[in-house]
Amino acid sequence: MVENSILKLEEVWKTYKLGETEVNALRGLNLEISQGDFVAIMGSSGSGKSTLLNMIGCLDIPTKGKVYLKGKDITTMSESQLSQFRGKVVGFIFQEFNLLPNLNALQNVMLPMTFQGVSLSERERKAEEILITVGLKDRIYHQAVDLSGGERQRVAVARAFANDPEVIIADEPTGNLDSVTGKMIMDYLMKLHKEKGKTMVIVTHDHEIAEYAESIINIKDGRIVPNGINGQ
């Protein structure tokens, strides 16, 4: 593995059983992402892109093959080891926001830090700082249920950065937003990517969103499409 590689998939297969039928969502897929890359993954429904996202984010392990995060083979880790390791290295942004509606913005952003044993005062300080960075200074103490869609997604972006992860993975981060708000969210992600040097992986079906990335990976039938990298 090259020295600056942060994510690597080697001959990864993911097979699901549907009754007596086996479905190969990923078929011997190889992929390497370097530290500081900004990558978009594109593919139609059923192409395997969501399964690939789960592999890259270490939310699932392959049926066959190896997945390396920061040089560590996650397929050899216990569930608790993987959860702790993933929590330190990877931050997630979801299309559905996945905020706790009865917590305020600050509390939602503090939550991932709780699982990493960060002190209360430090959790509050960091959460407030990140929320200000994404333009929510005046909404810090508003409950998630009272925020607009764009504000909720900005809270979700802030939460993804809470533990200062090295990798940010976003699954259709603008899918539930209008085009103006979606552009604003992507501008924030670009700003954080450039300022903090984070590795960014975005799964999207939107070509305009994919254009923010430095390289585009197209996936079809569980395989990377040849010449589907670097926007070709």
Q: Is residue 6 part of a domain?
A: no
Q: Is residue 181 part of a domain?
A: yes
The amino acid occupying position 99 is: L
Q: How confident is the model at residue 227 (pLDDT cuts 50, 70, 90)?
A: low
Q: Is residue 27 part of a domain?
A: no
Q: Is residue 108 part of a domain?
A: yes
5 CB-contact burial (10 Å; exposed 0-12 / middle 13-18 / buried 19+): middle
Domains identified in the chain, total number: 1
Provide the terminal-to-terminal Cα distance of the chain, rounded to the nearest Å.
25
Predicted confidence at residue 34, as pLDDT, reads 94
Predicted confidence at residue 189, as pLDDT, reads 87
187, pLDDT greater than 70: yes
Predicted confidence at residue 117, as pLDDT, reads 85
CA–CA gap between residue 219 and residue 115 (Å, rounded): 34
Contacts of 42 (CB under 8 A, 6+ apart): 49, 203, 204, 205, 207, 210, 216, 217, 218, 219
Predicted confidence at residue 175, as pLDDT, reads 84
Residue 63, Cα to own-chain centre: how many angstroms?
21
231, pLDDT greater than 70: no
Q: Is residue 44 part of a domain?
A: yes
Contacts of 25 (CB under 8 A, 6+ apart): 14, 15, 16, 48, 51, 222
Share of residues in the chain with pLDDT > 70 (%): 96
Q: What is the tens place of the pLDDT at every residue in 137-184?
A: 999 999 999 999 889 989 999 999 899 999 999 998 888 888 888 888
Tell me the pLDDT of the chain averaged across its residues.
90
How many other C-beta atoms can be found within 10 angstroms of the C-beta atom of residue 46? 12
Residue pair 42/22 in contact (Cβ under 8 Å)? The answer is no
Predicted confidence at residue 232, as pLDDT, reads 38
Mean pLDDT throughout 39-48?
Answer: 91
Mean pLDDT throughout 33-44?
Answer: 93
Predicted confidence at residue 176, as pLDDT, reads 83
Model-level pTM?
Answer: 0.86
Q: Is residue 78 part of a domain?
A: no
* Out of 3-7, 57-61, 101-105, least confident range: 3-7
Q: Is residue 95 part of a domain?
A: yes
The CATH number covering residue 98 comes to 3.40.50.300
Q: Is residue 3 part of a domain?
A: no
